[in-house]
Amino acid sequence: PGKKVLIVYAHQEPKSFNGSLLKIAVEELTKQGCSVTVSDLYAMQFEPRATRNDIVGPLHNSEAFNYGVETWEAYKRGGLSKDLVEEQKKVQEADLLIFQFPLFWFNMPAILKGWMDRVLVQGFAYDLSKAYDGGLLQDKLSLFSFTTGGSKEKYAIRGDIRYLLWPMQHGIMHFCGVKVLEPHICYAPEHASEEKRKEMLTAWTQRLKTLWKEEPIDCSPEWYFK
């Protein structure tokens, strides 16, 4: 109770299966006494491109633009654009980050990747000497909840779906010190029967009921590639 949750949601249609998963998470976690914030990226028309506009005021080096250096310097002096400051504040306050999205081309949608690129700047989310278990966002949990177009069997034939999670869970979350819960994957809801879809939604509701009792995954290459 009293935990803070940020759900970063990347789907264009509220009536979609992803929309239903979002709605369930908000209802279930609120019922548990958590305070839930949603960043609905499409509704916000969130800008996914990392550009000069992310820095307010003069550049650290106006001769040659280096996004990483400029956002780091801007973060230190409080010169990041308003939308980034707002998202960082939500991340800072959250005990748990849930990312809800459909898998596009074995990856997260561009708008969500853009959120990662722009929000998790050096100085805020990581420092080169403070990464992975020493990352700046320690004591937070994360969970990737997503839908796929292909069936579980299709993914099994072509290699483990866990391979795809290496860049997302390990390369982003673990790098920033965030602990990672087991991903929640709904396979091919578009091709499933109404009954099967209901089962998937029920399974998500059930999981959320005991979410805070879960242990994070072992963030080692073995988890992904064994």
User: Residue 79: phi, psi to the nearest 5?
Assistant: -115, 30
**Among 225, 215, 106, 112, residue whose Cα is nearest residue 172:** 112
Strand, helix or coil at 95? coil
Residue span of the structural domain in which 117 resides: 4-225
Distance, in Å, from the CA atom of 76 to the CA atom of 215, rounded to the nearest integer, reads: 34
Strand, helix or coil at 8? strand
What is the residue type of 121? V
Separation of CA 140 from chain center: 12
Contact residues for 204 (Cβ-Cβ < 8 A; gap 6+): 21, 24, 25, 145, 184, 186
How many domains does the structure of the chain reveal?
1
Instruction: Report the CATH number at residue 69.
Output: 3.40.50.360
- What pLDDT, on a 0 to 100 scale, did the predictor assign at position 1? 61
Distance, in Å, from the CA atom of 142 to the CA atom of 174, rounded to the nearest integer, reads: 9
pLDDT in tens, 4-21: 999 999 999 999 999 999
**Among 143, 121, 149, residue whose Cα is nearest residue 204:** 143
Strand, helix or coil at 31? helix
Place of tokens 């997260």: 108
- What pLDDT, on a 0 to 100 scale, did the predictor assign at position 128? 87
The 10 Å CB-count burial string (b at 16+, else e) for 65-104 is eeeeebbbbbbeeebbbebbeebbebbeebebbbbbbbbe
pTM of the model: 0.97
Distance, in Å, from the CA atom of 144 to the CA atom of 181, rounded to the nearest integer, reads: 8
Number of neighbours of residue 154 by Cβ within 10 angstroms: 13
Q: Can you spell out the DSSP letters for 128-197? A: TTB-GGG-TTTT-EEEEEEE-SS-HHHHHHTS-THHHHIIIIIIIIGGGT-EEPPPEEE--GGGS-HHHH
Query: Would you write out the chain's pLDDT as a tens digit for each of its 226 residues?
Result: 699 999 999 999 999 999 999 999 999 999 999 999 999 999 999 999 999 999 999 999 999 999 999 999 999 999 999 999 999 999 999 999 999 999 999 999 999 999 999 999 999 999 989 999 999 999 999 999 999 999 898 888 877 899 999 999 999 999 999 999 999 999 999 999 999 999 999 999 999 999 999 999 998 999 999 8
